[in-house]
Structure formats: C-alpha cells, structure tokens
C-alpha cells in the first residue's frame, strides 16, 4: 500500500457514513433539545418527525461527526427562522 492509499484509508475510517448519521440522528436532536429555549421545542418536534434518510443523499458521507452535527444544527436554525 502506498502512502497515498494509507491516507485515503485513514480519512475513510474517520468519516461518518450516511448510515451512521441515520442511526445517530435522534441523539443529535436530543442534544439540541437539552440546550434550546422551551419556545424552540416545536422546531425540535418537527426535526424529530423528519426521516433522517431523507435529509442526506445515499452516497453522502461526512468528514467528521462535527460536520454531521452541524447539518442538524443548520436544519434547526432553518426551522426557527421560518
């Protein structure tokens, strides 16, 4: 294996696949719910109602878990700005 192949392997191991995002999505919502104002709970309820399979394309992956959490946070911000 060349150095380049090893680096790509390391990146893939650290990446968060769509399937992992779908599994962790409820936890991300719970984390948000624990820190938002009670007035924003309707937005949390809407996010819980979304199917996480529909939020990202099947071939999508995240470079890190922080990026996945950021996607959920942006979804939340869109909900409260409506």
Give the model's pLDDT for residue 82.
84
Which position has the token pair 């470079």?
Answer: 63
Give the model's pLDDT for residue 6.
43
Partners of residue 17 on adjacent β-strands: 61
Give the model's pLDDT for residue 2.
45
- CA dihedral over 52, 82, 44, 32, signed as positive or negative: positive
Give 25-73 pLDDT, tens digit per residue. 999 999 999 999 999 999 999 999 999 999 988 888 899 899 999 999 9
Q: Does pLDDT of 18 surpass 50?
A: yes
Domain boundaries, the chain: 16-80
Give the model's pLDDT for residue 1.
43
Nearest to 49 by CA among 58, 41, 39, 57: 41
pTM, two decimal places: 0.78
Give the model's pLDDT for residue 48.
97
């Amino acid at each position: 294996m060349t150095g380049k192949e090893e680096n790509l392997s390391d990146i893939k191991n650290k990446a968060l696949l769509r399937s992992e995002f779908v599994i962790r999505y409820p936890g991300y919502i719970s984390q948000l719910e624990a820190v938002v104002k009670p007035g924003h709970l309707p937005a949390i309820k809407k996010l819980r109602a979304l199917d996480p399979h529909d939020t990202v394309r099947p071939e999508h992956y995240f470079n890190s878990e922080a990026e996945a959490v950021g996607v959920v946070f942006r979804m939340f911000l869109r909900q409260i700005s409506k």
